[in-house]
A and B are shown apart, each in its own frame.
Chain A
Amino acid sequence: DTGVSQNPRHKITKRGQNVTFRCDPISEHNRLYWYRQTLGQGPEFLTYFQNEAQLEKSRLLSDRFSAERPKGSFSTLEIQRTEQGDSAMYLCASSLGGNAQPQHFGDGTRLSIL
């Protein structure tokens, strides 16, 4: 069990640029989740995949956000035309099937918009 891996750990970009983050889940986990966490707050749900299917998206996920999990393994989260308000920690988690299974989190990608 190598844990959930996220890259990059930090991303600094100018407003208006596009950014992409990658998440590699625990290998046997078929469920993958993205959350956003701002300073001093709890994580907020963004989206959820079961295998390659994106089954749920939050209203927080505006048109500028897109997530993929093309082969049911790793996932990418892209933000287009970044805005100041996108500055946050983006957390990825994975779990086995079943709603009672705990989600296991990566260390996140911290996005800073200049």
Chain B
Amino acid sequence: AQSVAQPEDQVNVAEGNPLTVKCTYSVSGNPYLFWYVQYPNRGLQFLLKYITGDNLVKGSYGFEAEFNKSQTSFHLKKPSALVSDSALYFCAVRDREAAGNKLTFGGGTRVLVKP
């Protein structure tokens, strides 16, 4: 079985400050990990993924994420948040050894960046 936890329902940050959105995962084998962002009444937009290799992954719009196998975490970060980063963020996992191809998503974290 695979699962994702996003412990914070909402994160508030001032514009220009660093932004962190937390994610922990559980898989039987090794994970593929993904971050998506969702704006109101829109679908999910892919930000970045971890497959293997370097634990620090860089993605779109200045976002990055750090994979930590010992803590089973994949936290999303941005050094300097923009008001336009205000949205709903989802972490997702797929067990690379498992049969099937589904993504399991966390419950989402709403990010509010205040000017």
Contact = CB atoms under 8 A, between A and B. Distances in A.
Contact of B101 (A4, A40, A55, A105): A55
Contact of A102 (B41, B49, B100, B107): B49
Contacts of A50: 101
Interface stretch (A11-19, A41-49, A63-71, A75-83): A41-49
B49 to A, nearest CB: 6
B104 to A, nearest CB: 7
Interface string B1-22: 0001000000000000000000
Contacts of A42: 4, 90, 92, 105-108
A99 interface: yes
Interface string A1-45: 000101000000000000000000000000101000000111111
B43 A100 contact: no
Nearest to A49: B101
Given A91-B44, A105-B44, A45 B104 contact: yes
A69 B42 CA distance: 23
B51 interface: yes
Nearest to B46: A102
B43 A102 contact: no
29 contacts: A33-B101, A41-B108, A42-B4, A42-B90, A42-B92, A42-B105, A42-B107, A43-B44, A43-B90, A44-B105, A48-B100, A48-B102, A50-B101, A55-B101, A58-B102, A93-B43, A99-B96, A100-B51, A102-B46, A102-B49, A103-B34, A104-B46, A105-B36, A105-B43, A105-B45, A105-B46, A106-B43, A107-B41, A107-B42
Given A40-B107, A99-B94, A103-B34, 14 more contacts: A6-B43, A33-B101, A43-B90, A43-B105, A44-B105, A48-B101, A56-B100, A58-B102, A99-B32, A100-B51, A100-B96, A102-B46, A103-B46, A105-B44
